[in-house]
Chains A and B, each alone.
Chain A
Amino acid sequence: MAGLVFLGRLGDLAGAAEIAMPMARTTALAVVMDRLPPALIAGLRSPKVRVAVNGELVPAEQPLDALMIADADEIAFLPPVSGG
């Protein structure tokens, strides 16, 4: 299982803060995302959304589709933040 974590408003789009995704083999993120509902995919693909894999932020300029996701990886989708 890979864990997809949705922060902020993305959790509303996903209907859950986290989704466990069965993984038969290491798979490109584009393929993993294709299994999600279209409205959620659109939200995740916003240029304002950052991604972290296993707690490491993916550089903003790095294309996400080719990221290889292994079983037990945690992928977090991080929309614009707001604290204080």
Chain B
Amino acid sequence: MAEVRLATEPFDPGAELARFTAAHPTAGGVVSFTGQVRAGDSVEALELRHYGPLTLPGMRELADAAAARWPLAGLLVIHRSGELRPGEPIVLVAAAARHRRAAFAAADFVMDHLKSQSWFWKREKRAGTWHWIEPRGEDYADLGRWKTDLEEPFDTAHAQSQE
């Protein structure tokens, strides 16, 4: 039921969302989140790297966990890999459900796990130099809101204590 994609080329979140919404006419609501590269933040470029054997299978497992937890009519997860410019979309998560609470919660859950427990590595270029980015303390804290059976590859309690 979940549609999960690892995109290596730019995608159009508006077109994807319109298509997804049209495909789920029985859903009473669709909640979506689009993440994009911040402009005007002295970031010249953002690069996302992935590891083929783990990244897409992990995204599918995450989507399945969300679909098992909330009554969804549909779930769409698209995440970019590669080099991105300011303003370009990084991620789109859309959840369609009969009632809004499930859609809000599922989209929120998937985003929290994409930020700090999915197989992506992110670096940004500032003043011509690349810097690797690790999740912030609040990214790990956000995760703590969900109790799941998903294996969390990185010990969030340990990471938080180092903040």
Contacts and interface: CB of A to CB of B under 8 A. Distances in A.
- Chains A and B come from one and the same complex: yes
A48 interface: yes
SS of A interface (majority): loop
Interface string B40-80: 00000000110111100000000000000000000000010
Contacts of B146: none
A57 B153 contact: yes
Contact of B154 (A9, A12, A50, A55): A50
B120 A82 contact: yes
A74 to B, nearest CB: 8
Contacts of B120: 81-84
Contact of B111 (A8, A55, A84): A84
Contact of A81 (B53, B90, B119, B155): B119
| Most chain B C-beta atoms within 10 Å of own C-beta, residue among A50, A57, A81 | A81
Given A7-B49, A50-B153, A84 B91 contact: yes
A83 B79 contact: yes
A84 B90 contact: yes
A51 B158 CA distance: 18
Interface residues of A, number: 22
Interface string A36-76: 00000000000110101011010010000000000000101
Contact of A80 (B79, B123, B134): B134
Nearest to B151: A57
B132 to A, nearest CB: 4
A14 interface: no
Contacts of B154: 48, 50, 80-81
B134 A82 contact: yes
B121 A8 contact: yes
Contacts of A7: 49, 51, 121
Contacts of B32: none
Contacts of B38: none
B5 interface: no
Contacts of A82: 115-116, 120-122, 132-135
Top 4 nearest A-B pairs (CB, nearest first) are A55-B53, A83-B120, A8-B121, A84-B115
